Amino acid sequence: MQSNVTEEQQNAQNNTSAALYSMTGYGRAQKLIGNKEITVEIRSVNHRFLEYSSRVPRAYSYLEDRLKNLVKASVSRGKVDVSLTIQTVSGTDTKVVINHDLARSYLEALRDLSEDLQLKNDLTVSQMTRFSDIFSVIRVEDDEEEIWSAVSQVAQEAVDNFMQMRRVEGEKMKQDLLYRLELIEQMVKKVEELSPKTVENYSKRLYAKLQEVLQNNTVDEQRVITEVAIFAEKIAVAEETVRLGSHVHQFREILRSGEPVGRKLDFLVQEFNREANTIGSKAQDLEIARVVVDLKSEIEKIREQIQNIE
């Protein structure tokens, strides 16, 4: 099957094609914002759907849904794991609160004791610290919007790094897929070239066989023609090769679509296999059978590749 697309046109199409994203990736970002060091890490592996999980400090659990939505805005498939850590590097997240009423009660009680027992009242502030229940250490409440503003900056940078890695891996996969599509086209062309020869060879063998059986009698030319026609129809693979060519064209179009393409390509590869199997079942020629084996091998390599495409 001859392709109507020249090498120059194909290169131009490849250069303008949309990015392809691998489902495997890693991205990390870390920033010091205010008195907090924020780190976000994102990892993913291939998965049929989007499966999201995260590790967020309990004190910042209110960020979880926002973080998930931020990541999902860029990712549609894959098993994605997100880790957020927030460390206070200066100042403190806590403060000491004094129970003044309780402190006054202690002070009054000690004064009464001093008067009753006629003891010197030498109480000082430092001595009051012995009464530990006067003091409470509490966590300073966060400004949730302020914290999210800081975290979202770091998270978006991590997502950008993550997607960049996925894109680089996806570009390598795309080039490999385009190369294998060219191999498939060459094999389909080979099948189309061999198929008429198979009919021709069958016609010669049939004619020779009939001559051998009939010996000196004249071979019925019409019978030979009829048998060859039946055989040709039986092994005809033109429909399958045309459909395979159409599938290859669709495959390239999908790669240029700029959308998540994994599921579409998975379906299309099933159609590749269907046509290859039909050609194999019709093959009455050893050389065609060998081409079909190579064809199915390339299709399997493509199937393995697209399992990791978003």
Q: pLDDT, tens digit, for every residue of 154-187?
A: 999 999 999 999 999 999 999 999 999 999 999 9
What's the CA gap between 225 and 248, in Å, rounded? 35
Stretch 129-142: mean pLDDT: 78
Fold match, 19-91+143-166 / 167-306: no
| Residue type for position 81 | D
Per the prediction, the chain carries an average pLDDT of: 82
What are the boundaries of each domain within the chain? 19-91+143-166, 94-139, 167-306
Under the banding of pLDDT at 50, 70 and 90, the label for residue 97 is confident
As a whole number of angstroms, the distance between CA 247 and CA 274 comes to 11
Report whether pLDDT(55) > 90.
Answer: yes
> pTM surpassing 0.75?
no
CA 40/CA 87 separation, integer angstroms: 12
**CATH level 3 topology of 19-91+143-166:** Ribosomal Protein S5; domain 2 (3.30.230)
167-306 has which CATH code? 1.20.140
The CA distance from 30 to 174, in Å, is 31
Provide the 10 A C-beta neighbour count for residue 61. 9
Maximum Cα–Cα distance across the chain: 151
Tell me the range of 15-19, 39-43, 185-189 where mean pLDDT is highest: 39-43
